């Protein structure tokens, strides 16, 4: 026993340190390399060179520029950033002067780049005396928090230049003629009085910015897929393709229009919307542009896509009204006819996000669908009632023409030919649009009725294949359409020499209903719900395809069945009825536990086994690729153990035999000793061989 008390009866001392702080004479400084003491700047630059291998450039002021890529070391880094392009400026008088960092990533908005640069400056102030490599590592650890901060406010000045051709009229220079009396020039038109803009509150500005951001995302999601789409660096001017609905009814000077510049102010819709028509004369286009701007100012509740659709559908009507208008006066506003107001009212729709209105966002009907219901005598009803027959309800508004080389090969007018594929009970939760990107189908050959699989069908591309049984060639082409709240049709399938049987797991592209961003392809199966998260706004969306229907409209776009390669073999009629067993359940005298018949590929006839075939035919048997179940009499592809339809075993007791369908072997040399067939039974082939010997 060890006593816990000392001899004097006092308790034993604790193990805590007796001295709280060590004397200064005992403190040893951290060792510093000799090179760092002699030349601190060169030593720290060498560390960066060994770590990043940067690109070095000497600036005019003597500073050294190091350009390198910093890859985030956090394996769970939440942002889609492969590496940070850093441009580190090290002064010549470093470390007396602090280093500065510049972010060169073009995909990072300037406001977030400023946050990273300010974070570097804070690290330099906090960690005085730290090396450049240590500061870089600290920036790497703090990169996620810097990117999650609020974006710094930036201002960018952009000069807008009107690039439209101007009608320049050559005017001769006036010569001085002192002998003629001076002629008084005509009075200049009165200048418009300056009207100050209406002041807006903070709530109005915030609401306008939110609505502008939402409508711009919708515009970019729908129009960025076309080659003619362009966006200015400040995000105000959008060049969009324009296809007028009645180009032949336009004035001659406006028929050459191919695109339009949509100018969206920063405080839209508080500030008015403007347009500029490209490829046309400015004198002819300005009245139409002014009239459209007045319509847009009167109907501020319309979205950007609604304004664009209205311009494409009624451009010929607006051009006629602009020609009939009197000369504009600067003091008085121009009165507009009531017909255009009614048409604009019919085309308007609100896209304001409503919370608590359900999980499905309603996509408004384009204005040309509403023009058919007009019964008045206005110009809009007379000219908008005769729609083209190719316009379908879910084919979209023909804002743009068919552009070669577009990303999504979807025409604005889908011909209703072939077989229509639709999802009648589709369920869309927070999904604006849904499109079939890669289609996989099960098709049935028109010649032999064999079901084949064809995969990898993309929009507008034709795929050729052949039947795996009879070899008949067939072609399949898919023409996709967009699925949304008002349309459940996914497109048309043009099938030649075959018919569509079923839908296999295919790839779908959903568009987020919150930010109008298209998500990557998702593989969906009929009957199952597919849920994912948007990569832009991180909102959850779900779509479900309970059932699919195929409706044959017309033979399709390819023609009829191609000629066969040879005479068709006559099918043998057995007189069987599905659901009833075969005679003796398909067994024969050779195999008592084989409950099926085989259809041999050599002659196409049905026999219980190979020996029965050899006894009834005069040719050598070939492998049978089809069979008839002995319990339900249904013909099907060959299966080793069970029936595809009734599920019963066709080999007797499964897993216990050594012959038909068992796990053993027929080779007597490889049989086990306890197998009675190893020594007792000798097959007829062995007997014939012994006789020949």
Domain edge (last residue) among 285, 302, 323: 323
45 part of a folded domain: yes
Burial class (CB in 10 A: 0-12, 13-18, 19+), 664: middle
Domain co-membership, 314 together with 216: yes
Domain edge (last residue) among 148, 169, 188: 148
Evaluate if pTM is beyond 0.85. no
The predicted pLDDT at position 439 comes to: 92
> Dihedral, CA atoms, 512, 516, 517, 520, nearest 10 degrees?
40
Q: Under a CB-based contact definition with an 8 Å cutoff, are residues 630 and 585 in contact? A: yes
Domain co-membership, 219 together with 116: no
The predicted pLDDT at position 344 comes to: 45
207 part of a folded domain: yes
In angstroms, the CA 286 to CA 165 distance is 12
DSSP string computed for 77-121: --S--S-EEEEEEE-TTTTTS--EEEE--SSS-HHHHHHHHHHHH
Domain co-membership, 429 together with 539: yes
> Dihedral, CA atoms, 39, 40, 44, 49, nearest 10 degrees?
-20
The predicted pLDDT at position 350 comes to: 39
In angstroms, the CA 577 to CA 631 distance is 11
Helix, strand, or coil (residue 494): strand
Q: Under a CB-based contact definition with an 8 Å cutoff, are residues 135 and 124 in contact? A: yes
Residue 444 in tokens: 């049935």
Q: Which of 286, 255, 273, 285 is nearest to 216 (CA)?
A: 273
Contacts of 318 (CB under 8 A, 6+ apart): 288, 291, 292, 295, 311, 340
Domain co-membership, 588 together with 550: no
Tally the domains of the chain.
4
Q: Which of 565, 390, 563, 559 is nearest to 462 (CA)?
A: 559
What distances in angstroms separate CA 644 from CA 148, 288, 631, 650, one per listed residue? 57, 69, 11, 11
Domain co-membership, 313 together with 255: yes
Which residue's structure tokens are 């890859």? 71
CATH of the domain at 206: 3.10.110
Which residue's structure tokens are 């098709």? 443
In angstroms, the CA 361 to CA 355 distance is 10
Sheet of 549-552, strand order: 462-466, 473-480, 489-496, 419-422, 549-552
Q: Which of 467, 487, 478, 460 is nearest to 394 (CA)?
A: 487
Domain co-membership, 519 together with 581: no
Domain co-membership, 483 together with 610: no
Domain co-membership, 528 together with 604: no
Burial class (CB in 10 A: 0-12, 13-18, 19+), 646: middle
CATH of the domain at 143: 3.10.110.10
379 part of a folded domain: no
Bridge partners (DSSP) of residue 290 are none
Whole domain around residue 644: which residue ranges? 577-673
Residue 438 in tokens: 């890669």
Domain co-membership, 501 together with 607: no
Domain co-membership, 242 together with 313: yes
Furthest-apart CA pair in the chain: how many Å? 143
> Dihedral, CA atoms, 341, 347, 353, 357, nearest 10 degrees?
110
Q: Under a CB-based contact definition with an 8 Å cutoff, are residues 381 and 370 in contact? A: no
Per-10-residue mean pLDDT, the chain, length 693? 52 63 76 77 89 90 90 86 90 89 90 91 89 91 88 75 54 49 56 62 87 87 83 86 84 84 86 86 84 86 86 86 66 47 46 43 51 41 40 39 38 72 91 91 88 89 87 89 89 90 90 87 85 89 90 60 48 75 91 90 88 90 88 88 87 56 65 75 56 55
Domain co-membership, 141 together with 40: yes
Q: Which of 351, 347, 394, 354 is nearest to 373 (CA)?
A: 347
Domain co-membership, 119 together with 210: no
Which residue's structure tokens are 């003091």? 331
Residues 562, 566, 567, 569: is their CA dihedral positive or negative? negative
Domain edge (last residue) among 323, 344, 375: 323
Beta strands in 394-548 (DSSP E): 419-422, 427-429, 431-445, 451-457, 462-466, 473-480, 489-496, 498-503, 506-512, 522-524, 529-533, 540-544
Which residue's structure tokens are 């847009």? 296
Q: Half-sphere exposure (CA, 13 Å, Cβ side) for 654?
A: 8
Residue 301 in tokens: 């509740």
Bridge partners (DSSP) of residue 435 are 509
Q: Which of 90, 124, 85 is nearest to 103 (CA)?
A: 85
593 part of a folded domain: yes
Residue 309 in tokens: 């659709």
Q: Half-sphere exposure (CA, 13 Å, Cβ side) for 448?
A: 19
Bridge partners (DSSP) of residue 599 are 606, 626
358 part of a folded domain: no
437 part of a folded domain: yes
Would you give the DSSP letter of residue 487?
B
Q: Which of 299, 311, 301 is nearest to 262 (CA)?
A: 311
Helix, strand, or coil (residue 178): coil
289 part of a folded domain: yes
The predicted pLDDT at position 379 comes to: 42
The predicted pLDDT at position 169 comes to: 47
Q: Half-sphere exposure (CA, 13 Å, Cβ side) for 329?
A: 6
103 part of a folded domain: yes
The predicted pLDDT at position 14 comes to: 57
Residue 521 in tokens: 């392809």
Residues 299, 304, 305, 311: is their CA dihedral positive or negative? positive
What distances in angstroms separate CA 38 from CA 128, 147, 370, 486, one per listed residue? 18, 38, 82, 76
Q: Under a CB-based contact definition with an 8 Å cutoff, are residues 282 and 276 in contact? A: no
The predicted pLDDT at position 301 comes to: 82
Q: 10 Å Cβ neighbour count for 29?
A: 5
Q: Which of 516, 453, 508, 519 is nearest to 483 (CA)?
A: 508
């Amino acid at each position: 026993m060890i006593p816990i008390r000392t001899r004097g009866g006092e308790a034993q001392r604790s193990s805590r340190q007796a001295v709280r702080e060590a004397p200064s004479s005992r403190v040893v400084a951290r060792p510093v390399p000799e090179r760092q003491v002699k030349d601190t700047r060169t030593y720290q630059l060498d560390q960066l060179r060994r770590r990043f291998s940067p690109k070095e450039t000497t600036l005019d002021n003597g500073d050294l520029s190091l350009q390198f890529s910093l890859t985030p070391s956090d394996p769970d880094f939440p942002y889609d950033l492969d590496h940070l392009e850093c441009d580190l400026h090290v002064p010549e008088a470093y470390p007396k002067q602090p280093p500065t960092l510049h972010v060169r990533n073009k995909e990072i908005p300037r406001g977030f780049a400023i946050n990273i640069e300010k974070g570097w400056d804070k690290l330099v102030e906090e960690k005085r005396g730290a090396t450049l490599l240590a500061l870089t590592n600290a920036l790497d650890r703090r990169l996620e928090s810097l990117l999650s901060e609020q974006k710094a406010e930036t201002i960018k000045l952009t000069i807008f230049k009107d690039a439209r051709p101007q009608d320049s009229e050559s005017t001769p220079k006036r010569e001085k003629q002192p002998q003629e009396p001076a002629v008084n020039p005509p009075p200049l038109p009165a200048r418009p009085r300056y009207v100050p803009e209406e002041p807006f509150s903070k709530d109005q500005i915030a609401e306008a910015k939110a609505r502008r951001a939402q409508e711009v995302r919708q515009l970019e999601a729908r129009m960025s897929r076309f080659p003619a789409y362009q966006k200015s660096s400040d995000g105000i001017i959008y060049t969009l393709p324009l296809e007028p609905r009645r180009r032949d009814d336009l004035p001659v000077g406006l028929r050459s229009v191919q695109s339009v510049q949509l100018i969206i102010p920063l405080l839209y819709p508080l500030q008015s919307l403007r347009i500029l028509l490209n490829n046309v004369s400015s004198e002819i286009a300005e009245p139409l542009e002014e009239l459209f701007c007045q319509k847009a100012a009167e109907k501020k509740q319309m979205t950007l896509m609604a304004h664009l659709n209205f311009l494409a559908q009624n451009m010929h009507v607006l051009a006629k009204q602009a020609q009939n208008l009197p000369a504009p006066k600067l003091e008085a506003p121009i009165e507009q006819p009531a017909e255009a107001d009614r048409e604009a009212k019919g085309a308007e729709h609100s896209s304001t996000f409503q919370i608590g209105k359900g999980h499905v966002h309603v996509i408004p009907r384009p204005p040309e669908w509403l023009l058919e219901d007009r019964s008045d005598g206005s110009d809009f009803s007379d000219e908008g009632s005769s729609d083209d027959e190719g316009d379908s309800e879910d084919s979209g508004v023909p804002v743009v023409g068919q552009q070669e080389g577009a990303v999504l090969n979807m025409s604005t007018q889908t011909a209703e030919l072939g077989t229509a594929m639709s999802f009648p009970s589709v369920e869309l939760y927070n999904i604006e649009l849904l499109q079939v990107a890669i289609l996989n189908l099960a098709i049935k050959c028109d010649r032999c009725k064999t079901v084949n699989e064809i995969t990898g069908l993309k929009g507008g591309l034709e795929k050729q294949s052949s039947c795996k049984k009879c070899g008949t060639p067939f072609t399949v082409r898919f023409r996709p359409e967009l699925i949304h709240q008002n349309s459940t049709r996914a497109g048309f399938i043009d099938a030649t020499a075959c018919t569509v049987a079923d839908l296999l797991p295919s790839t779908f592209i959903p568009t987020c209903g919150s930010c109008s961003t298209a998500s990557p392809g998702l593989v969906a199966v009929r009957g199952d719900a597919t849920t994912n998260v948007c990569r832009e706004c991180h909102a959850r969306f779900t779509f479900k395809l309970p059932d699919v229907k195929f409706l044959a409209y017309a033979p399709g776009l390819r023609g009829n069945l191609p000629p066969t390669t040879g005479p068709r073999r006559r099918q043998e009629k057995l007189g069987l009825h599905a659901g009833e067993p075969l005679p003796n359940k398909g067994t024969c005298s050779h195999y008592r536990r084989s409950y099926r018949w085989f259809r041999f590929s050599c002659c196409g006839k049905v026999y219980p086994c190979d020996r029965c075939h050899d006894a009834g035919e005069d040719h050598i048997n070939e492998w049978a690729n089809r069979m008839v179940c002995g319990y339900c009499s249904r013909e099907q592809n060959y299966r080793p153990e069970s029936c595809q339809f009734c599920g019963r075993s066709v080999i007797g007791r499964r897993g216990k035999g050594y012959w038909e369908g068992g796990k053993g072997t027929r080779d007597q040399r490889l049989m086990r000793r306890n197998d009675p067939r190893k020594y007792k039974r000798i097959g007829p082939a062995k007997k014939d061989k012994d006789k020949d010997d």
